[in-house]
Structures are given as C-alpha cells and as structure tokens.
Structure 1
Amino acid sequence: MDAGATINAVRDQTETERDRLGSDKVLIAATDATLETEVVLTTAATRESGLADALGQWAAEADSDVATQFEGAAEAAAERADRIDADAGDPDGFIDHLETVSGTARRVGAGLVAAPLVADRFYLQVVSFFINEADEQRADTFREIRREASALDDGETALGHLSESERETAAAAATEAVGAAYDDYAETLEAMGLDPKPVC
C-alpha cells in the first residue's frame, strides 16, 4: 500500500468508531455534560496542547525524515491552541493513549493519521455547538481549526518516508488510536447512563 491507500485503509477500518465520534454526544462526553462555552473551549485547548506536546516530544526523539512532519504538526497544534485562547485541562483518553505510543511508524499512525481523523469528528460538533449558541465568530474560527486539524498532509508525507511494512504498522497504530478515542468516549457516556451507539 502506498501512503494514500494506507490512509484509506484506516478510514475503512474505523468508519463505525468515527461515525459515533461525530455524534452530538461527543461534547457531552468530552465536557462531562457541562455544555458551556468556557468548558468547550478548555476541552478543545486541552486536545491541541496535548497533541502539540506529544508531537513535539516525538520530533525530538525521531532520527528519521519524519521528524520534520512531527515538528510541523506540533507547531500547528500549538498555534491552534493559542487561537482557542483557553487554559488547557487534564489530558483526555486519546491524548493519554498517544503518550504510550512508541516507535516511529506507530507514532506516524497515531499522531499524524489518527489524530486528524479524530479531530475532524470532534470539531464538527464544536462548530455545531457555537452555531447553536448563535456565536458565528467562534463557529467560523472552529471551522478553520477543523479544516487545519483534520488535514492529513503531514501524515501522507510521513507515510511516504516509511517502508511498506512500516506503513502497515502505522495503519495498525492509527486504527488502535481511533479505537482508544472511541473507547474513552463510550466509557464516559456509559458511566453517565447513556448509550454511545446511535439510536435508530
């Protein structure tokens, strides 16, 4: 599989989890059911700050071509956190998972493929939240943040630096990381007495 096919394989493998991570329950789980502007902003800033920290550490530890992609993605996440303009809180389950990932190929999958796929779903609901709050300025800000955070350019470039077997390792790690984000979401909702599965 080339880089593009690797990303498509991850998308296919994680379709159900990503669909559920894009539901209107995702902010209920992420904010512990405190759907208030400051809490939503803190949750978003926490995700970007945690991602920036993980990617920055990986950039410093990488001794390969992908260090550039880690560094660029870390700087972009830190810049997004600054634009959100809220204090970060404790890391969520997805960021906690990233901190356990080792090995360059696995880190490419988790940090440069899974993280954008998860961000796309999360920010979809953040945009919706601010639309519902009639806060068009913040809705526009988060539309732009969603577009940037969900971009897979760094992931595709980094995958291109890996061998085919390393891309398979990266794909498995990306699938696992999306699964970790979903598990955190589902367990949080279940603890609240809510069903993470969509009601048909």
Structure 2
Amino acid sequence: MNAAELREAVENDKRTELDRLGSSKLLVALTDAELDESTVLTAAGNSEHAAERTFSQWADDEENDRARTAFEAVAAQERDHYDRVAERLPDEFEPVDGGPMHAYLRGREDAVSRVAGGMVGRPLVSVRTHTQVINFFTNEADRTTADLFRDLKEETRAVIDDGTDLLDELCEDADDWERASATAGYVIQVAYDDYADSLTELGVDPKPLC
C-alpha cells in the first residue's frame, strides 16, 4: 500500500459516514439546532482550538523529527485559524476544548497513528465542516465570513496532502499501513458517531431522507 491507496481505501470504506457528515444536518448537530451566526462561529472556534491543542501536545512529545516538525506546523496553522475566527466573536469568548474525536487522537502515541489520524482522518472531516459553514454564511449573505472559511478549508485540505506524503516516509511495512488505515478510518467513525448521537438527542434522524 502507499498513501494514495490508503486515502482512497479510507474514503471508500467511510463513504456513508463522510457523506452524512457533509450534509446540512452537520451544523444542526454542532450547534444543538441553534443556527445563528454567533453559535456557528463558536462551534468553529472551539474546533480550531481543540485541534491546536492536540497538535501542540503531540509536538511536545513526538520522538520522530519529521512528524514533530509537521505537528508544529499544523499547530501553528490551527492557532492562526482560531485567531481568525475569534476576531468575529466577542472579546470575552473563551474556547471549549475537547470532544470525542480529539480525545481519541490524543491517545495515539506513535507517529504513524498520529499522522494518519490527525492529518488524514481529521481533516477529511474538517473540510466537510468548513463546507457547511461556508454554505451557512453564504445563505446569510455574509460574503466576507464565507470567504474566510473558504480559505480555512483550502488550508485544511492541504494538510491531507502533507499527511499522506509523510505516511509514505513513515510507513515501513504492511503493519504500519494497516495501522494507519485503521486509525484514519476510526477517527472518521468517532466523528460520525458523535454527530449521529447529537442528532438523535435532538430527535433528528442522522440518515438522509429518501
């Protein structure tokens, strides 16, 4: 296996979960059905903050030099993303850290699993979140904020390419590739399960209407 094959395999295996995460119901789940500008921005800010914390923690204890450098770069990018979102929130805004996906990611201890989970699985979810935020602000006729999230989406999408390139360097055998594939896929599953649970609690069916 190589990184391109891994990404294709993960996306094919988790196609249903990714499609549902890319639906308009995603913001309903993330905001507890409070679809106003402030709540959407708060959810986005919390997400960027949690990602920055995850990658910063990894950068502090990662033994592999290439992986540590990558984690430092992503942490800096996520910190910048948070700052750009927070500019649109009240000065007293305090981000909330955590969530099931980041709890799982922070439990990964080897470079292969961290790169696969944090730089492939996670951004495959994040670009879908950004798409829905873009759609929300487009519908609100807030072109400036929609353009902001278009930029964040493209920068997040680039992390997937960096992650797959790095996996080509880190994975030495079939066991490494299997672990990478399993970790990336499980990150998507955790994100989907959290999404589905949130909708179910709101009385909304996470499955699309036919």
TM-score range, shorter chain: over 0.9
Q: Determine the C-alpha separation between the residues in 1 that align with 2:144 and 2:62.
A: 38
Which sections of structure 1, spanning at least 5 residues, go unmatched?
A: none
Deviations, residues 140-177 of structure 1 (Å, cap 9, x unaligned): 11111111112212211220222232122111001000
Q: Determine the C-alpha separation between the residues in 1 that align with 2:15 and 2:109.
A: 25
Q: Determine the C-alpha separation between the residues in 1 that align with 2:140 and 2:191.
A: 26
Correspondence for 1:106 among 106, 109, 113: 113
Match of 2:9 in 1: 9
On the 8 A contact 1:69/1:157 being kept in 2, the answer is no
Match of 1:81 in 2: 82
Which sections of structure 2, spanning at least 5 residues, go unmatched?
A: none
Deviation at 1:90, TM superposition (A): 4.3
On the 8 A contact 2:50/2:96 being kept in 1, the answer is no
Deviation at 1:42, TM superposition (A): 1.1
Match of 2:169 in 1: 161
Corresponding residue SS for 2:204: coil
On the 8 A contact 1:109/1:174 being kept in 2, the answer is yes
On the 8 A contact 1:66/1:161 being kept in 2, the answer is no
Deviation at 1:136, TM superposition (A): 0.6
Q: Does 1:175 align with 2:166?
A: no
Deviation at 1:105, TM superposition (A): 1.5
Greater shift after overlay, 144-153 or 182-191?
144-153
On the 8 A contact 2:49/2:97 being kept in 1, the answer is no
Match of 1:184 in 2: 194
Q: Determine the C-alpha separation between the residues in 2 that align with 1:42 and 1:91.
A: 14
Q: Does 1:91 align with 2:98?
A: yes
State the AA in 2 paired with 1:138: T
Corresponding residue SS for 1:150: helix
Q: CA RMSD in A?
A: 1.3
Q: Determine the C-alpha separation between the residues in 2 that align with 1:37 and 1:193.
A: 23
Deviations, residues 82-101 of structure 1 (Å, cap 9, x unaligned): 11114422433322332233
State the AA in 1 paired with 2:112: A
Q: Determine the C-alpha separation between the residues in 2 that align with 1:41 and 1:96.
A: 22
Q: Determine the C-alpha separation between the residues in 1 that align with 2:9 and 2:70.
A: 21
Instruction: Normalising by structure 2, report the TM-score.
Output: 0.90
Deviations, residues 49-76 of structure 1 (Å, cap 9, x unaligned): 1111111111221111211111111111
Q: 1:52 to 1:184 in 2, by over 3 A?
A: same
Identity percentage over the alignment?
A: 39
State the AA in 2 paired with 1:46: N
On the 8 A contact 1:42/1:89 being kept in 2, the answer is no
Match of 1:47 in 2: 47
Q: Determine the C-alpha separation between the residues in 2 that align with 1:147 and 1:121.
A: 11
Alignment length, in residue pairs? Answer: 200
Match of 2:125 in 1: 118
State the AA in 2 paired with 1:3: A
State the AA in 2 paired with 1:158: L
